[in-house]
Structure 1
């Protein structure tokens, strides 16, 4: 038992070091300072203790780009909608854990090992800033377009476009869609968020499996 305990302690130390170094080593490693964008687009990163989402400001072009959300029953054109919120994650955990009180062992094990992925899409009105769980970034038009492309190609597509998952939603305002890629403890929702932000021209840590490490790296390098 003592040997097993020492092994677990070593593993925890190695994991803590990996997360710390993953946040402190920037990606890309070198980046020249660019000019401030003339017409910045204001995006938000929303976080809870284990998950991050990206909130995209709504305009006519964004609504046209993601028109399939309206077709899937999301009221994206409703008055008062200011953001469309995108998040990528493990299918079992996402679909079977709408609240912490409904946490179950099987979805957790799948999230830690290997699971298929889904895209969760929600809408939001005005989001108060600043807040500890909200980070904001201004990016240029080229970065914004690249970010929309990254999000769009994360959806798995069928003959009619992105594939909505029937009878899977937390409320009448959100939907789940089939997504590309597989989810595990090393490549999860927060590494997806980090990759999306890098596509937009921002810098993240080299490996950000947790919201706290992603948030730290974003504050350090942007």
Structure 2
């Protein structure tokens, strides 16, 4: 019991320790967002970004999606447990058995959600403006977690997600108690050189450090 409590305190304490503390937003940079539903976090990026030549519909190589969502502006990416995602359809909360099984290493999916307009910053949405170089690193990190097969760089797991605008793709990596959806979001920000938490077990952990990045005194970018 004491060991579990100590581990929990260490995990939560990691929320307060910043990584890439020197990061500062780029005033005229590319707008990206961290979006939470209170439990899970997604990264929301421009569907097309002219300065870096990034086009997510092209990268996904899914012609039906390209035809359907070509007029949208943003796309969200989340990573998580296949078991948990697939038992969450219809707004259901997965049962205790699924939650416990998700604590053990298991397969993952990438959740892709198309947005007609950028998210509106608020309680569950934090916005950052980043440089083109930072955006390229961020996009490259996201792309790494799609599991390819012989037919292309992405594999649709299901023909539909929770809504008409979201989908699940086969993901790379294993989900477990110490490697969660929020850790993925946090780690992706960190590896792109953006401010992040040392450890982010909760959605609030990710949002806290992203918001701190916008409040630090401005200084020259490296």
Tell me the secondary structure at the aligned position of residue 119 of structure 1: strand
Tell me the secondary structure at the aligned position of residue 181 of structure 1: coil
Give ranges in structure 2 of 5+ residues lacking alignment: 215-222
Cα distance between partner residues in 1 of 2:45 and 2:119? 15
Q: 1:105 to 1:167 in 2, by over 3 A?
A: farther
Shift of 1:18: 1.4
Q: Is the 8 A contact 1:116 1:183 kept in 2?
A: yes
Q: 1:110 to 1:167 in 2, by over 3 A?
A: farther
Q: 1:67 to 1:204 in 2, by over 3 A?
A: closer
Shift of 1:62: 3.2
The superposition leaves residues 16-46 of structure 1 with CA deviations (integer Å, 9 ceiling, x where unpaired) of 4213321112224xx5466x63740000100
The superposition leaves residues 168-206 of structure 1 with CA deviations (integer Å, 9 ceiling, x where unpaired) of 522332211111100011101111101111233211111
Q: Is the 8 A contact 2:75 2:112 kept in 1?
A: yes
Q: 1:38 to 1:210 in 2, by over 3 A?
A: closer
Cα distance between partner residues in 2 of 1:86 and 1:212? 17
Q: Is the 8 A contact 2:182 2:202 kept in 1?
A: yes
TM-score by length of 2: 0.83
Cα distance between partner residues in 2 of 1:170 and 1:47? 15
CA-atom RMSD in angstroms: 2.4
Q: What does 1:153-164 align with in structure 2 at a 5 Å threshold?
A: 153-161=144-152, 162-164=154-156
The superposition leaves residues 53-87 of structure 1 with CA deviations (integer Å, 9 ceiling, x where unpaired) of 0101122643366443542536220x3x1211111
Cα distance between partner residues in 2 of 1:65 and 1:41? 18
Structure 1 or 2: larger helix share? 1
Give ranges in structure 1 of 5+ residues lacking alignment: 1-6
Cα distance between partner residues in 1 of 2:138 and 2:145? 11
Cα distance between partner residues in 2 of 1:149 and 1:65? 15
Q: Is the 8 A contact 2:47 2:57 kept in 1?
A: no
Q: 1:39 to 1:160 in 2, by over 3 A?
A: farther
- Determine which structure has more spread, i.e. the larger CA radius of gyration: 1
Task: Name the counterpart of 1:88.
Answer: 79
Shift of 1:147: 0.8
Name which of 123, 126, 130 aligns with 2:117.
126
Q: 1:160 to 1:23 in 2, by over 3 A?
A: same
Q: Is the 8 A contact 1:117 1:180 kept in 2?
A: yes
Count how many residue pairs are aligned between Structure 1 and Structure 2. 209
Name which of 20, 29, 48 aligns with 2:37.
48
TM-score by length of 1: 0.83
